Chains A and B, each alone.
Chain A
């Protein structure tokens, strides 16, 4: 069965304190791995797509990496505005090819 597990569930950082969020997956036929950011009361906002092991993507203070079993979202020198829930999703081969399996997310709080 396809599974996506995110850890930790919640993370509290001081401003400037770098850390990483983890997304481990067990799927057959991975097409892509996606990272989203979700603020309270809003829909998920797309951040990155990774397709193959070894691939890396960067955007401002965020860097996403992918291996054959997991992905990391590295946050360098975070600011309070980085506080949000970060969601990981894997796109798997199904009948239609459209399924995104989401993890439960990591809730990040960055304090000044």
Chain B
């Protein structure tokens, strides 16, 4: 257990459905992330929140909508997805502070949600 939980673990949805992915971290971190992992591709950063404020939006289509109501919870709202959006969606958290000599904390990942879009 890394202290980052994600629900659901598996999700199958049609292209017209609306669903949400949930992430919760129990590590006291103040930064949270959404990544997409597709087969044969590197992990792709989607969104970053620090202190509940979105600080990075990596050119993600608007059919993905993130929400961070507090520093422990992160959601990814999905609507009108395409089959190519099928992937493993990973949430991560880290401690956002310069730390030693301007360094940033390592990211801890949840188990992911395996999403299939039909």
A99 CA to B42 CA, complexed, in Å = 13
Q: Does residue B31 face the partner (Cβ distance < 8 Å to A)?
A: yes
**Interface size range on B against A:** 20 to 34
The A-contacting residues of B in range 55-87, CB under 8 angstroms, are 55-56
CB of A97 within 8 Å of the partner chain: yes
Task: Give chain B interface residues in 95-115, CB to chain A under 8 Å.
Answer: 96, 101-104, 106-112, 114
User: Are the C-beta atoms of B42 and A102 separated by less than 8 Å?
Assistant: yes
Contact present for A34 and B56 (CB under 8 Å): no
Taken together as a complex, chains A and B put the C-alpha atoms of A102 and B90 apart, in Å, by 13
A104 touches B2 (CB 8 A): no
Tell me which residues across on chain A come within 8 A of B45, comparing CB atoms.
99-100
Bound state CA distance, A32 and B90, in angstroms?
21
Given contacts A42-B112, A43-B2, contact A102 B103 (CB under 8 A): no
Within the complex, which residue of A32, A36, A43, A101 is in contact with B103, where a contact is CB–CB below 8 Å? A32
- Size bin of chain A's contact surface: 20 to 34
Interface pair A49/B106, CB less than 8 Å apart = yes
Q: Which single member of B33, B40, B50, B106 contacts A34 (CB below 8 Å)? A: B106
* Chain A residues, Cβ within 8 Å of B106: 34, 46, 49
* Interface membership of B21, Cβ < 8 A: no
A94 at the interface (CB under 8 A from B): yes
What residues of chain B lie closer than 8 Å to A102, measured between beta carbons? 42-43
A-B contact pairs, 29 of them (CB 8 A): A34-B106, A41-B114, A42-B111, A42-B112, A43-B2, A43-B4, A43-B90, A43-B111, A43-B112, A44-B43, A44-B90, A46-B2, A46-B106, A46-B108, A49-B106, A87-B43, A89-B43, A91-B104, A96-B48, A96-B50, A96-B56, A98-B55, A99-B45, A100-B45, A100-B107, A101-B42, A102-B43, A104-B42, A105-B42
